[in-house]
């Protein structure tokens, strides 16, 4: 058993830490305030190969590995949850399904630009009436000649306002239920595609969470991903991997808040001594650090299983459930440790607490993770 | 065009502590990094490569652990890396070090040589200029801008109260300061190939040097003693009007035979 990073992963960690300190942390509070999508940061990440970490160089990827990708999401989230989810949604939810289910032509057409970060990716499954109940898709796709015609709308699409390529799910045959759902690669310039509302959110405020509208949107039939009717399978398997990304994001948020709390406890004095000397708060730190470590082990074990080709569905669900709850616990405690200052925007912990909440909700709520976990255990 | 970049692995701190007993640097527990000015040198070489095409080779002299600094340079995108390592090189001062580096440059071939201005551990700023002297090359120090022309470079050199622009024939050696550029980060592409690349190792025999010329033996610098300045005493505090204070200061200085 070996918990150590490879030499390459170690170098990547050093690079990521520097990048985050210099390029990400300084603007995290500002983009939270302005809701301005960090497009310049994404361009910088692209130049460093960060938008295609776990994919082979032959198809335009950076030639890294899945653990390094997860580490990148984690390191970004320590300073800025928004930037981390941009990377996670792009990599896990758009690049991966094209890589796993695309034809050679689709891969050759879309992956090089996505993996080099020249294009940004997104994933469009959720609808106003199809959240956790993702199977009740209202968006339809009808084959007419050389095109599928898409009608309907999607909501809460991460990266939505800035993405170039979308993986869109739609009903091709309602009579077949979940087996009637298909997946499509949609370019933002396709006729009949438009953006709707951009959400004003509690956290990850700069991540451009958009509504997508399809009005007789013409999608070339060669842009069907996989076969007709396997869309639900594509969505579920994509989300299995995506969960490790969100778990890493939650872990990073928790680590970021823990670091802030430790720093503050050593500086802040009350009753004539640093508040780090008070046992009540020391016990908070012990609980926070222990949960962070447990979350980290779950996240990296899931990532290792995916990287080594093992079945990771159960591990990913456990990692996502526990890491997101840890993020909520640690950030809430961090605000408590900061007291009144923690409730202000002078310190980053209030932002971290707002950012943490979404990790218990998107890419499968905590309740969905429990369904996945129990179904695996009780089968 | 062949560009050589000389780099040094240094402890990641501006405040190097000295062991009072042995007089040597305490490196334990301090992570090692590429010397900051040397990163500017690497960046400039890579920038020129991207603009004009070139092969960039980083060279360092050091113990086997210095390989890490070379891997980092490869992960930034340099083409080749050379480690000059030999037990005989140990204890070298700037003269003996620059001789080894100059010999390596002769063996490797070059059109342009970059070095950092100075290392944050030794702070001598001597090695770059000494390499140029050994090789009988033109040199420009404190370089803050480089423009590659045909057979020469136009270089801007920072001065205390302004700058100098010089036109220099190549081959030449330039020592870089942080104002020159912003060194790039390592990148994922090169990080995942840098350990697969071979690092060329050269020792005293490969360079055709004698034992008397290198290392401690070949170093004219003799260190008598290295020490950290002791803490100052707290001093006395007088809360008095200025004219009384002046008298007290004068009396004290007289008492110390300073005036």
Tens digits of per-residue pLDDT, A131-153? 999 889 999 999 999 999 999 99
Over range A311-336, report the average pLDDT: 98
For residue B18, what is the DSSP state? B
> How many of the other CB atoms lie within 10 Å of CB of A236?
16
Q: B108: pLDDT confidence band, cut at 50, 70 and 90? A: very high
Query: Is the pLDDT assigned to residue B27 strictly greater than 90?
Result: no
User: What residue segments make up the domains of chain A, in order of their start?
Assistant: 7-120, 122-230, 233-378
Q: Do B191 and A64 touch (CB under 8 A)?
A: yes
| A156-160, A343-347, A348-352, B246-250: least confident range | B246-250
**Looking at beta carbons, which residues of chain A come within 8 Å of B185?**
15, 18-19, 48
CATH topology of domain B2-213: Rossmann fold (3.40.50)
A363 is catalytic: yes
pLDDT digits (tens, 9 = 90+) for A182-197: 999 999 999 999 999 9
Give the pLDDT score at B14.
Answer: 64
Give the pLDDT score at A147.
Answer: 97
Q: Do B75 and A15 touch (CB under 8 A)?
A: yes
> How many of the other CB atoms lie within 10 Å of CB of B133?
14
Give the pLDDT score at B92.
Answer: 86
Taking domain A122-230, whether its CATH number is 3.30.2350.10 is answered by: no
- Name the A residues in 206-225 with CB < 8 Å from any B CB: none
d(CA A147, CA A219): 5
d(CA B195, CA B81): 11
Q: B223: pLDDT confidence band, cut at 50, 70 and 90? A: confident
Over range B93-110, report the average pLDDT: 94
Over range B137-163, report the average pLDDT: 96
Question: Of the candidates B185, B193, B195, which has its C-beta nearest A15's C-beta?
Answer: B185
Q: Which of A249, A328, A204 is nearest to A75 (CA)?
A: A249
Query: Is the pLDDT assigned to residue B226 strictly greater than 80?
Result: no
For residue B50, give every residue at least 6 positions away whose Cβ sits within 8 Å of its Cβ, in sequence order, or none.
none
Question: Of the candidates B188, B192, B193, which has its C-beta nearest A48's C-beta?
Answer: B188
B195 to chain A, any CB pair closer than 8 A? The answer is yes
Burial B89-128, CB ≥16 within 10 A → b, else e:
beebbbbbbbbbbbbbbeebebbbbbbbbbbbbbeebbbb
Query: Which pairs from A38-41 meet CB under 8 Å and 24+ separation?
Result: A38/A80, A38/A82, A38/A83, A38/A86, A38/A206, A39/A162, A41/A83
**Looking at beta carbons, which residues of chain B come within 8 Å of A57?**
189
Helix (H) or strand (E) holding B38: helix B36-52
Give the pLDDT score at B84.
Answer: 97
**Looking at beta carbons, which residues of chain B come within 8 Å of A14?**
186
Q: A207: pLDDT confidence band, cut at 50, 70 and 90? A: very high
| Helix pair A313-338, A366-378: axis angle to 10 deg | 140
Query: Is the pLDDT assigned to residue B121 strictly greater than 90?
Result: no
Distances (CA, A) of A348 to A177, A352, B27: 45, 6, 35
Q: Pick the more confident residue, A343 or B31.
A: A343
Q: Do A48 and B193 touch (CB under 8 A)?
A: no
- ipTM for the whole complex: 0.94
Q: What is the nearest CA distance from B77 to chain A, expressed in angstroms?
A: 11
B189 to chain A, any CB pair closer than 8 A? The answer is yes
Helix (H) or strand (E) holding B154: strand B152-159
Q: What is the nearest CA distance from B189 to chain A, expressed in angstroms?
A: 5
Over range B65-86, report the average pLDDT: 97
- The structure tokens listed for B230 are 């002791």
Q: Do B192 and A50 touch (CB under 8 A)?
A: no
Taking domain A7-120, whether its CATH number is 2.60.120.1360 is answered by: no
SS3 for B220?
A: coil
Q: Do A63 and B192 touch (CB under 8 A)?
A: yes
Give the pLDDT score at B23.
Answer: 67
The residue of chain A nearest to residue B182, with distances taken between CA atoms, is: A22
B72 to chain A, any CB pair closer than 8 A? The answer is yes
Q: What does pLDDT average to over chain B?
A: 92
Helix (H) or strand (E) holding B159: strand B152-159
B187 to chain A, any CB pair closer than 8 A? The answer is yes
Give the pLDDT score at B15.
Answer: 63
pLDDT digits (tens, 9 = 90+) for A90-135: 999 999 999 999 999 999 999 999 999 999 999 999 999 999 998 8
Give the pLDDT score at A317.
Answer: 98
Strands A140-144 and A147-157, how do they pair? antiparallel
Query: Is the pLDDT assigned to residue B16 strictly greater than 70?
Result: no
Q: What are phi and psi of A186, to 5 degrees?
A: -115, 130
Cβ–Cβ < 8 Å for B64, B203: no
Query: Is the pLDDT assigned to residue B28 strictly greater than 80?
Result: no
Over range B53-77, report the average pLDDT: 97
Q: Which of A92, A273, A95, A268 is nearest to A185 (CA)?
A: A95
Question: Of the candidates A8, A19, A68, which has its C-beta nearest B185's C-beta?
Answer: A19
Q: What CATH class has A233-378? A: mainly alpha
For residue B199, what is the DSSP state? E
pLDDT digits (tens, 9 = 90+) for A76-96: 999 999 999 999 999 999 999
Give the pLDDT score at A337.
Answer: 98
Query: Is the pLDDT assigned to residue B133 strictly greater than 80?
Result: yes
Q: Do B188 and A57 touch (CB under 8 A)?
A: no
B71 to chain A, any CB pair closer than 8 A? The answer is yes
Q: B122: pLDDT confidence band, cut at 50, 70 and 90? A: confident
Q: Do B191 and A11 touch (CB under 8 A)?
A: yes
A270: which strand partners? A273
Please provide the distance, in angstroms rounded to a whole number, between the alpha carbons at the two ends of chain A: 29
User: What residue segments make up the domains of chain B, in order of their start?
Assistant: 2-213
**Looking at beta carbons, which residues of chain B come within 8 Å of A19?**
185
Residue in B192, B195, B199 to test binding to A, most A beta-carbons within 10 Å: B192
Distances (CA, A) of B213 to A77, B92, B206: 53, 10, 14
The residue of chain B nearest to residue A14, with distances taken between CA atoms, is: B186
A160 to chain B, any CB pair closer than 8 A? The answer is no
């Amino acid at each position: 058993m070996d918990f150590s990073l490879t030499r390459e992963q170690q170098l990547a960690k050093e690079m990521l830490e520097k990048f985050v300190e210099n390029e990400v942390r300084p603007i995290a509070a500002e983009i939270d305030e302005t809701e301005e999508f960090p497009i310049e940061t994404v361009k910088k990440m692209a130049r460093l190969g960060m938008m295609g970490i776990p994919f082979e160089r032959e198809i335009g990827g950076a030639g890294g590995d899945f653990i390094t990708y997860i580490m990148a999401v984690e390191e970004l989230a320590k300073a800025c949850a928004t930037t981390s989810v941009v990377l996670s949604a792009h990599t896990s939810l758009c690049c991966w399904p094209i890589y796993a289910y695309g034809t050679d032509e689709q891969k050759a057409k879309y992956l090089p630009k996505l993996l080099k970060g020249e294009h940004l990716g997104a994933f469009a499954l959720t609808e106003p009436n199809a959240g956790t109940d993702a199977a009740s898709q209202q968006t339809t796709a009808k084959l007419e000649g050389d095109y599928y015609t898409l009608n309907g709308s999607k909501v809460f699409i991460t990266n939505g306002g800035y993405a170039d390529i979308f993986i869109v799910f739609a009903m091709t045959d309602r009579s077949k239920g979940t087996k009637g759902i298909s997946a499509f690669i949609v370019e933002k310039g396709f006729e009949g595609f438009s953006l709707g509302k951009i959400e004003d959110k509690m956290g990850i405020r700069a991540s451009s969470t958009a509504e997508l509208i399809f009005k007789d949107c013409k999608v070339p039939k060669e842009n069907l991903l996989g076969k007709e009717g396997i869309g639900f399978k594509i969505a579920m398997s994509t989300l299995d991997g995506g969960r490790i990304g969100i778990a890493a994001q939650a872990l990073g948020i928790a680590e970021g808040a823990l670091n802030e709390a430790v720093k503050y406890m050593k500086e802040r004095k009350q009753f004539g001594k640093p508040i780090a000397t008070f046992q009540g708060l020391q016990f908070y730190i012990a609980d926070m650090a222990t949960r962070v470590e447990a979350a980290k082990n779950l996240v990296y074990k899931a990532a290792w299983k995916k990287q080594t080709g093992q079945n990771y569905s159960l591990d990913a669900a456990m990692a996502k459930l526990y890491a997101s709850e840890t993020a909520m616990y640690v950030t809430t405690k961090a605000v408590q440790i900061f007291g009144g200052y923690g409730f202000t925007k002078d310190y980053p912990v209030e932002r971290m607490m707002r950012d943490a909440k979404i990790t218990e909700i998107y890419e499968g709520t905590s309740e969905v993770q429990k369904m996945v976990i129990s179904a695996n255990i009780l089968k | 065009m062949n560009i050589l970049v000389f780099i040094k692995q240094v402890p990641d701190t501006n405040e190097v502590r000295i062991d009072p007993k042995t007089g040597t640097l305490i490196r334990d527990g301090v992570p090692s990094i590429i010397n900051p000015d040397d990163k500017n040198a690497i960046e400039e070489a890579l920038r020129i490569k991207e603009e004009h095409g070139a092969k960039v080779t980083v060279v360092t002299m050091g113990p086997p652990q210095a390989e890490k600094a070379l891997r980092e340079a490869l992960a930034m995108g340099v083409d080749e890396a050379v480690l000059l390592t030999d037990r005989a090189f140990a204890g070298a001062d700037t003269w003996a070090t620059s001789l080894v580096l100059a010999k390596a440059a002769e063996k490797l071939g070059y059109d342009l040589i970059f070095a950092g201005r100075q290392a944050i551990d030794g702070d001598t700023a001597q090695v770059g200029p000494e390499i140029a002297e050994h090789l009988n090359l033109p040199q420009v120090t404190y370089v803050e801008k480089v423009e590659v022309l045909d057979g020469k470079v136009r270089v801007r050199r920072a001065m205390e109260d302004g700058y100098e622009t010089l036109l220099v024939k190549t081959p030449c050696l330039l020592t870089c300061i942080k104002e020159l550029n912003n060194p790039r980060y390592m990148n994922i592409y090169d990080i995942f190939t840098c350990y697969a690349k071979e690092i060329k190792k050269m020792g005293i025999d490969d360079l055709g040097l004698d034992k008397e010329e290198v290392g401690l033996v070949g170093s004219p610098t003799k260190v008598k003693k290295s020490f950290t300045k002791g803490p100052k005493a707290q001093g006395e505090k007088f809360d008095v009007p200025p004219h009384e204070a002046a008298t007290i200061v004068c009396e004290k200085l007289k008492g110390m035979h300073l005036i």
